[in-house]
Each structure stands twice: as structure tokens, then as C-alpha cells.
Amino acid sequence: MRRLLFITLLVATTSFAQTAKLDRDGDGKVTREEMPKLFDAIDADKDGVASADELAAYFAQNPSKPAAAKGAEQTEAAATPDDIEKRSVTILSDGTRMAGDLYLPKNRKPDEKLPGIVFCAGTGGTKKGLPTRLGPILARAGFVCLGFDYRGWGESDPLLMLVGEVPAPDEKGEVTVQAKPVRWQMNLNDQTFDIRCAISFLQGQPEVDPERIGLFGSSYGGGLVTLMAAIDPRVKCAAAQVAGLGTGPQRDKVGYDLMGKQARGETEPIPFETGKLGGKMERYVNMRVNPAKSVGYPEKYQLVGQIRIPMIFIDAELEELSNPKENGEKFASILQSNGVPVKYHVIKGISHYGIYKEGFQEATDLELAWFTEHLKPVAGSSVPALPD
């Protein structure tokens, strides 16, 4: 009973994995050796053991903030500069509310139509991370930037999986049901639709020129941006950093096999447990992947061959999560062969996550210059036609 109570109390503030690490010998007690940094603060009666009551009291007074998975795309939120307007917005995606933030320059002219850029987050990333750093930089340069959370990520509402019977609708056509929230799912169908909706929202803002929309994506988001550049004609320019993308027949086989098991009730209909990431991605403990909702896309190089807009790809020299030669470098080569404006750059001496740290300024300078060149043509000039 003491062991069960101990775990129940800690679940609100730490993960099960962290709990197991604290109580290493599994005796239901936490000693100084198991929690050296916090022990003196928790052991109020100084009896040498942190009891359930002492743990509850300590964590009630010192609630922990939800932690991003180790190494996540999420970065610490940055304060909004005084010369930038940050506007909280709600974007509807198939009826589900997505949370977003618009970044605009305060010195914009009345009725001025600025180019817009949608930022697409990587694995576990939210609008409270990288967009808080990039948004003001882009806005100060004369863009309207939109950072948002995909459905079920961050502050956006989740999708719902019904777990009970659905009653007859009332006079308003509404029902009250028992449902399980679907959060932190990764799949191409949902995220590409969310990006389409984010583009649609941004195009409708009075400060934005709907014909000058760009996409900016990082990591998983970089792969999504590459995909969207091929399939959404409204996108006029894109930047993808440390991107990874996987589509095609081999991925489809895995997805269709899983889809069959889901349809027959032989596995979870939505991968709450079975969709955990493994290998180098297992650090993302809250994320789940659903291959069944990423089927039907052409092989990735075929997709990239359809791109007709200017793109910049930036990779890390010491990239450890994907192979740049099969992603950014190859994508750039295909675009170059097709006569599409493209730039490929490798930042020396950094790993994947270095793009958010020591490589941030170098990458951002290049991406800003790219958007400025291709989304903000000099007045009176014409943008060269791209090959069909």
C-alpha cells in the first residue's frame, strides 16, 4: 500500500521512469542516497526517510513544470520585443481548435500587405518554443509569422476517441459522450491538414498578402514543409532545416498492415502505447507515431521532384537522427537538376540539436535572407518564372 501511494503521488510531477529512478531499490521508500539534491527539503521530520506525506507536501508547494522530452525541438520561450506585436489566435482544423501566435512588426504601414510565413514545428515542438525566437526576427524584417500547435499538441485542443455509447442528439443536435483525448500523435495526414488550415488562416489576415506565403520547418517540421512545398500551390517559398521525410511503398506497407489490425480490433485503434518512438527517438517519451495515417504519399524523391518553388535546406555536419545525403542534400540536388531555385548549406561542427543553439544564428541569417529574396521582391521587379 505504501508503494502504491508513493507512486500515485509522484505521477503528477514526474514520469513513471523518473519515479523508478528515485526508488532504485524498490522498497517503497526514498532515502538520501536515492534523492540527494532534494532530500533535506522533503524529509521534514528528519527521520532519514522521505514518506508519502512528506513527498506530497513538498510537491504541492513546489509544483514542477511539464518538461519537454530530452533533446526535443522545443526551446526556451523568449520574451517578445517591444517593437513586435504578438497576437494570440485560434485556428480551426476540421472543427478542432488549434492555438497560434501571430508576430507582426508594430511599425507596419496602415493597410500594408506583408508576406506571411507559417512555422511548422518538429517532434514535440510547440508555439512556445522556437517560434518565440524566430517570430520577432521575421516580423522585424517585414514578415507576418504564424507559430501554432498541431491538433493535440501543446495548447491546441485534442482529437477525441469515443469510449462509450453515443446517445441521441438533443434539440441542439449536441451529445454528451465519454471520450479519450488523443494527444501528441505524429502522422502525415493530420499534420499536413493542420498546416493547410494554418496557411488558410494566415492568408485571411488583413495584414498579409495571400499570394506571398512561405513555410519554415525544422526537423520533422522540415520534412512536412518539404512535403507541403510539393502539394500545396499556395506556398511560394520554403525553408527546411535538419529535415527528415519518409514516404513511399515501404512505409505504406507498414501503414496498411497496421491499418488492417486497427480496423479489425486486433490492436489499439489509436496508438497510445504501441506508437512509442524507439531508437534515437525514444527520448520523446510523450510522442506517438501512427503509420496508418501516413499512407498514400508518393516516394519522397518523387514528391520533391514536383516542387517548383524556391527552397533552402540547411543541415548539421554532425547530424545524428537522419542521413542528410538521403534528405536535405538529395532534395537540393533534385531541385537543382530541375532548374528550381535552391540553396543547400551545412553548418560545421554541430549536431541535430545544435541548430537551436550554436548554429541558430547562422541558420536563421541564411533563412531570413532566402525569404527576403523570394517573398519580398524589389518594387517594380518581376519574379522569374519557374520551370513547369
Q: How far apart are CA 287 and CA 74, in angstroms?
A: 13
* Torsion angle (degrees, nearest 10) of CA 193, 198, 200, 202: -170
Per-residue pLDDT at 73: 58
Q: How far apart are CA 146 and CA 149, in angstroms?
A: 10
What's the DSSP call for residue 37? T
Q: Which of 27-36, 74-83, 176-185 has the lowest mean pLDDT?
A: 27-36
Judge if pTM exceeds 0.85. no
Helix (H, G, I), strand (E, B) or coil at 15: coil
What's the DSSP call for residue 276? B
The three cell numbers locating residue 90: 485560434
* Percent of residues, the chain, with pLDDT higher than 90: 76
**Residue 94 half-sphere exposure, CB side, CA atoms within 13 Å?**
14
Identify whether the C-beta of residue 374 lies closer than 8 Å to the C-beta of residue 384: no
pLDDT class of 376 with cuts at 50, 70, 90: confident
Residue 281's closest CA among 113, 82, 69?
A: 69
Residue with the three cell numbers 520585443: 81
Question: What are the residues facing 238 on neighbouring strands?
Answer: 215, 311
Question: What are the residues facing 265 on neighbouring strands?
Answer: none
Q: How far apart are CA 83 and CA 135, in angstroms?
A: 12
Residues in contact with 87: Cβ distance below 8 Å, sequence separation at least 6, in sequence order: 101, 102, 103, 104
Q: How far apart are CA 255 and CA 89, in angstroms?
A: 34
pLDDT class of 377 with cuts at 50, 70, 90: low
Q: Where are the domains of the chain?
A: 2-61, 84-375
Residues in contact with 254: Cβ distance below 8 Å, sequence separation at least 6, in sequence order: 291
The correct answer on CATH 3.40.50.1820 for the domain covering 84-375 is: yes
The three cell numbers locating residue 234: 499556395
Where are the extended beta strands (E) located within 51-206?
84-93, 96-105, 114-120, 144-148, 159-162, 179-182, 185-186
Q: How far apart are CA 285 and CA 307, in angstroms?
A: 34
For 206, other C-beta atoms within 10 Å of its C-beta total: 7
List, for residues 328-366, the tens digit of each pLDDT value. Answer: 999 999 999 999 999 999 999 999 999 999 999 999 999
For residue 61, the Cα-to-chain-centroid distance in whole angstroms is: 31
Q: Which of 39-43, 72-76, 312-316 has the lowest mean pLDDT?
A: 72-76
* Percent of residues, the chain, with pLDDT higher than 70: 81
For 366, other C-beta atoms within 10 Å of its C-beta total: 16
Per-residue pLDDT at 34: 55
The three cell numbers locating residue 114: 506583408
Per-residue pLDDT at 343: 98
Q: How far apart are CA 14 and CA 12, in angstroms?
A: 6
Per-residue pLDDT at 330: 98
Identify whether the C-beta of residue 347 lies closer than 8 Å to the C-beta of residue 363: yes
Identify whether the C-beta of residue 318 lies closer than 8 Å to the C-beta of residue 351: yes
Identify whether the C-beta of residue 149 lies closer than 8 Å to the C-beta of residue 120: no
Q: Which of 113-122, 253-262, 378-387 has the lowest mean pLDDT?
A: 378-387
